[in-house]
Amino acid sequence: MDSFKEQATQTLFEKKLITDTQFKQVKAYRNLEIFSLNTELKLFLYLSVLFFTTGIGILIYQNIDTIGHIAILSFLLVVAIICYYFSFKNSNGFQKGETSFENPIFDNLILAAVLLTCIFIGYLQYQYNAFGTHYGLATLVPTVIGLFCAYYFDNKSILSIAITGLAAYIGLTVSPQSLLNNNFYTTNTLSYSGIALGVVLVLWSIYSKQIALKKHFTLVYLTFGLHLISISCVNNLFEPHWFVFAVILAAALYYFYISSYKVKSVSLFVFTIIYAYIGVNIILFKAIALLNIDEFLISFFFFVPFYFIISIILFIRLIKKFNKNSNDDSIR
């Protein structure tokens, strides 16, 4: 990282974007080796919110018969209202562009408020069946609240929670355990819903960028869209109509590949390459099975170790190329 910074500074100087005096000042500042604790402090604040909400959930689970349902609900509601009150009081109001609190603690306070709201509504539905047989409303209501808060307070963490709630509302669950055990892999309808939701998220990110509405949320939408579309398509590569989904997967991954360069997101780029690698290997094995060439299989398994080694080398080279291009664009 230090060598890159020095190289970037040297490039700026050589292109005469900074003066000789500025160049020396930058080098002198970096030689002081001063670093910021801002990121670390924000991380601890974020973890404190997660531990607090997790602790409340555990407390409710372990003492549900002794504390009382009304007392639990009252506590959750009061704490959530307090969090909302201070968040609205200290916010800058809704803005189409990027905004933030003057004090980062309020970002975590509104996150805690939304999490407590989810717990409150979920507990209310579970214990008192407040929404009757309309179980989806118990998911949709906190999702709508989450979307409002994400845009009003400009909070990406809340936006992620809201999108997850939206996926749950249409029947998808996105936890690792559910991806392995639930009906996502046995019900094609859920796969179709996943693709549809992924496309909607991508289209919304494009539209939001055009109207300049929270353009920095683009990466969040693209990340969810990538996972939803890719997992759904990979799931259907094992179905009789796999060719259609192979085409959809190829088109989607090409779009996300281009988008990863535009938003300069290495995570989006890496997952795009991983899904492409998985898809190519599945199609390759299907092609070998269709050709039914037994002699070729013996040679194929002999070259498998070399195949994986070459794949790893190419993957590393792609990452290096991506980082180089992104860094060059940043310097320009």
Same domain, 221 and 265: yes
pLDDT in tens, 28-47: 777 766 666 666 677 777 78
Full domain range(s) for residue 265:
177-332
Same domain, 250 and 279: yes
Same domain, 141 and 252: no
Same domain, 112 and 95: yes
Q: Is the pLDDT of residue 183 over 50?
A: no
Q: Tell me which long-range contacts 147-150 makes (C-beta under 8 A, separation of at least 24).
A: 149/110, 149/113, 149/114, 150/217
Three-state SS at 100: coil
Q: What count of residues does the chain have?
A: 332
pLDDT confidence of residue 1? 46
Of the residues 115, 140, 169, which one is the last residue of a structural domain? 169
pLDDT in tens, 230-285: 999 998 888 888 899 999 999 999 999 999 999 999 999 999 999 999 999 998 88
pLDDT confidence of residue 190? 77
pLDDT confidence of residue 327? 63
pLDDT confidence of residue 184? 47
**CA 268, CA 227: separation in Å to the nearest integer?**
10
pLDDT above 90: percentage of residues in the chain: 40
Same domain, 126 and 238: no
pLDDT in tens, 69-85: 788 888 889 999 999 99
Between 23 and 170, the higher pLDDT residue: 170
pLDDT confidence of residue 62? 74
Same domain, 42 and 30: no
Token pair 């969040």: residue: 220
In the chain, which residue ranges form alpha helices assigned H by DSSP? Answer: 2-14, 20-31, 38-62, 64-67, 69-90, 105-128, 135-153, 156-169, 176-181, 188-210, 218-236, 242-263, 266-291, 294-331
Q: Is the pLDDT of residue 65 over 90?
A: no
Q: Is the pLDDT of residue 329 over 60?
A: no
pLDDT confidence of residue 123? 83
Question: Which of 132-136, 157-161, 312-316 has the highest mean predicted lDDT (pLDDT)?
Answer: 157-161
Between 291 and 281, the higher pLDDT residue: 281
Q: Is the pLDDT of residue 185 over 60?
A: no
Q: What is the mean pLDDT of the chain?
A: 82
Q: Is the pLDDT of residue 142 over 70?
A: yes
Q: At what angle do helices 135-153 and 105-128 cross, to 10 degrees?
A: 170
Tally of domains within the chain: 3
Same domain, 103 and 204: no
pTM, whole model, 2 decimals?
A: 0.81
pLDDT in tens, 84-97: 999 999 998 899 98
Same domain, 25 and 50: no
Least reliable range by pLDDT among 125-139, 184-198, 310-324: 184-198
Same domain, 52 and 152: yes
pLDDT confidence of residue 279? 94
Same domain, 222 and 290: yes
Same domain, 151 and 290: no
Of the residues 141, 169, 197, which one is the last residue of a structural domain? 169
Of the residues 147, 169, 191, which one is the last residue of a structural domain? 169
pLDDT confidence of residue 162? 94
Q: Is the pLDDT of residue 57 over 70?
A: yes
Same domain, 138 and 84: yes
